[in-house]
Amino acid sequence: MSSLACHQVQELEPRSGLDVVVVSLVGLGCIPFVAANLVMLCNLKYQPIRQKNVDLTVASSAGGLIWLIATIIINRHFGPIKVGGSALCLIWDFWLQGVLGFALWLNCLNVHLYSLHRILVLKHKNFKYWLLPLLIMELPMLTFCIAGSIFRASRRNESNTDCSVVTWWAVVYALLLLLYFFLFVFLAFRLRKVRTHYNEFGIIRKGGVIAMFLYLLSLVYLATDGNKKVVGRCFLTFSVAAAVFYYFWARNATVVYAVLFNKADYLVNWSKHFDSNESLNEELDELNATRATFKERTRELEEEIAVLRSRTNSTQQVEKLRTSLSSSAKGFASMVDT
Q: Is residue 170, in this structure, part of any structural domain at all?
A: yes
How many CA within 13 A on the CB side of residue 146? 6
209 vs 282: which has the higher pLDDT: 209
CA dihedral 43, 49, 51, 57 (to 10 degrees): -90
For the ranges 78-92, 105-119, 205-219, 308-322, which has the lowest average pLDDT? 308-322
Q: Is residue 6, in this structure, part of any structural domain at all?
A: no
CA–CA separation, 159 vs 187, rounded Å? 46
Handedness of CA 304, 307, 312, 313 (dihedral sign): positive
Do residues 226 and 272 share a domain? no
For the ranges 134-143, 194-203, 225-234, 277-286, which has the lowest average pLDDT? 277-286
CA–CA separation, 255 vs 35, rounded Å? 13
Helical H segments across the chain, by residue range: 17-42, 47-50, 54-74, 86-90, 104-116, 131-150, 167-189, 201-223, 230-261, 263-337
Q: Is the pLDDT of residue 250 over 80?
A: yes
Instruction: Decide which of 235, 261, 287 is a domain's last residue.
Output: 261
Q: Is residue 150, in this structure, part of any structural domain at all?
A: yes
pLDDT of residue 298: 67
Provide mean pLDDT across the span 283-294.
56
pLDDT range class, residue 42, cuts 50, 70, 90: very high
271 vs 1: which has the higher pLDDT: 271
Dihedral pair phi/psi, residue 326, rounded to 5°: -65, -40
pLDDT range class, residue 280, cuts 50, 70, 90: very low
pLDDT tens digits along 146-197: 998 888 888 776 665 667 777 788 888 888 888 888 888 888 888 777 766 6
Residue partners of 143: CB distance under 8 A and separation at least 6: none
Q: Is 165 helix (H, G, I), strand (E, B) or coil?
A: strand
Do residues 255 and 284 share a domain? no
- Number of structural domains in the chain: 2
Do residues 257 and 269 share a domain? no
Do residues 28 and 139 share a domain? yes
Q: What is the CATH number of the domain that holds 233?
A: 1.20.1070.10
Which domain covers residue 42, as residue numbers? 17-261
Q: Is the pLDDT of residue 62 over 50?
A: yes
CA–CA separation, 312 vs 330, rounded Å? 27
Do residues 76 and 186 share a domain? yes
With a pLDDT cut of 70, the percent of the chain lying above it is 65
Q: Is residue 151, in this structure, part of any structural domain at all?
A: yes
Residue type (1 letter), 127 = F
Do residues 132 and 244 share a domain? yes
Do residues 277 and 242 share a domain? no
Instruction: Give the closest residue to 164 by CA, choosing from 252, 263, 93, 250.
Output: 93
pLDDT of residue 287: 47
Q: Is residue 39, in this structure, part of any structural domain at all?
A: yes
Instruction: Decide which of 228, 261, 294 is a domain's last residue.
Output: 261
pLDDT range class, residue 308, cuts 50, 70, 90: low
Instruction: Decide which of 219, 238, 261 is a domain's last residue.
Output: 261
pLDDT of residue 232: 84
Dihedral pair phi/psi, residue 282, rounded to 5°: -65, -40
